[in-house]
Amino acid sequence: MTHSDHDHHAHSGCCAAKAVPSVADAVIRDPVCGMTVDPAAGKPTAEHGGHLYHFCSERCRSKFTAEPEKYLTATDPVCGMRVDRAAAKHFSRHEGQGFYFCSAGCKVKFEAEPAKYLGDKPEPQAMPKGTQYTCPMHPEIVRDKPGACPICGMALEPMGVPTGDEGPNPELVDFTRRFWVSAVLSVPLLIFAMAPMLGVTFSAFVEDSAKIWVELALASPVVLWAAFPFFHRGWDSVLNRSPNMWTLISLGVGAAYLYSVVAALFPDIFPHQFRGHEGTVPVYFEAAAVIVALVFLGQVLELRAREKTGSAIRALLDLAPKTARLIGEDGSENDVPLDTVKAGDRLRIRPGDAVPVDGIVLEGRSSIDESMLSGEPLPVEKTEGDPLTGGTLNKNGSLIMRAERIGAETTLARIVELVAKAQRSRAPIQGLADRVSFYFV
């Protein structure tokens, strides 16, 4: 059963005292157990990274001081966003485990169908130490940490083959949210602006003098909040002296919005030639907002396509087992991690097992499902001396094989690397588009 964040902590000895909720706009939460804490109640505190954290009990404080990094943030099980545990306004408990949410909407979705969001979802894995990042559009850009490309502003992606499920793409989650906000506000804005051209008026609902202020109110969140990443990337392109698409979008959206704001606030400064038939200064709030919404739509579609490619890579990686059954020199058999297998090792392949690495059959006879390589649904008979490919599936017999190619040298690893390189590559036409946009800007 799912409980609200006002429930008591389930563990004895920890969080024995009832937490007093703080004011709604300043929730202070125990980062270990998730209970709300009243700072004035004299509960234990600890400082980390220049921030003061409050705890419901000494036990929670001890856990935090022993491993502070473990309790600083949590993953929203619904949308995958990282949440500050100590400041999270939305918290719920399910089967004795606490969950943190970025918004009330995510919490409601979770409490309605917790099983939907608690499947076998692995925790996002940190990238291996030493991972380098590159730009999909400009592969010559290589950095030691994630960030934005100095040329085009796109988010840098890790080079090499992904090691596991890295969780939802934070840029996709952010851009999707910004797109929906932009779209919801742009539709009524577009109707307001285009309706007079079709002979439709809203004078019964909104006075003509107030119409421009309604448009300003609708366009401002789109331009000032949703489009902020565009302006940031556009400014970076100016600093790096590499005008690109983001420079053009920033100039167009910014000019349309600023002109319209001035026209709304100071219409008297515009000469008669700038005014329309009714004597009003035309504004372009709808143009700025719709451009932002359409660009976000394109970005979201592109990021989703790249996300699907990443899922395909992870599906290929899942074909290889995580362990191998190693036969020792004394004939004993033990399951060992795949990365400890060396070329020349003898491995046992039992019925139903996936072949761990590329190698040669030493003993036995069996049928191998090689459909992941050839697409052929019929299994292939394998006997002594026949080659085996990592990731293929042993059907019914038992085999003893000798490992020949391991790690990045296996056929499966090379296929995954080719797919990863294809994901990071760009079409030749993109170079022409970059040059055209440079001169156009």
DSSP state of 328: P
Q: Which pLDDT belongs to residue 14?
A: 39
Q: Which pLDDT belongs to residue 112?
A: 84
* pLDDT in single tens digits along all 441 residues of the chain: 444 444 434 333 333 333 333 334 456 888 887 778 888 877 888 888 778 888 887 888 888 888 877 788 888 888 777 788 877 788 888 776 788 888 887 888 888 888 777 764 444 445 555 667 777 667 777 787 777 777 766 677 776 555 555 556 788 889 999 999 999 999 999 888 887 777 667 665 666 667 888 899 999 999 999 999 999 888 888 887 878 788 889 999 999 999 999 998 988 888 877 776 666 788 899 999 999 999 999 989 988 887 777 777 777 777 778 889 999 988 898 888 888 899 999 999 999 888 999 999 999 999 999 888 888 888 899 999 999 999 899 988 899 999 999 888 888 888 888 877 776 666 666 667 667 766 766
> Domain check: are 174 and 256 in the same one?
yes
Asked, for residue 53, whether it belongs to a domain, the answer is yes
- Of 271, 290, 315, at which residue does a domain stop? 315
Asked, for residue 163, whether it belongs to a domain, the answer is no
> Domain check: are 245 and 352 in the same one?
no
Cα(290)–Cα(218) distance, integer angstroms: 11
Q: Per the structure, how many domains does the chain have?
A: 3
Domain region containing 30 = 2-117
Q: Which pLDDT belongs to residue 441?
A: 60
Q: Which pLDDT belongs to residue 381?
A: 92
Strand duo 90-94 + 2-4: pairing = antiparallel
Asked, for residue 82, whether it belongs to a domain, the answer is yes
The greatest distance separating any two alpha carbons of the chain, rounded to the nearest whole angstrom, comes to 98
Q: Which pLDDT belongs to residue 206?
A: 66
Q: Which pLDDT belongs to residue 327?
A: 92
> Domain check: are 286 and 376 in the same one?
no
Cα(220)–Cα(289) distance, integer angstroms: 8
Q: Which pLDDT belongs to residue 167?
A: 59
Asked, for residue 72, whether it belongs to a domain, the answer is yes
> Domain check: are 182 and 286 in the same one?
yes
Cα(366)–Cα(371) distance, integer angstroms: 15
Query: Position of tokens 């609902």?
Result: 205
The angle at the Cα of 252, spanning 180 to 430, to the nearest 5 degrees, equals 80
Asked, for residue 160, whether it belongs to a domain, the answer is no
> Domain check: are 302 and 395 in the same one?
no
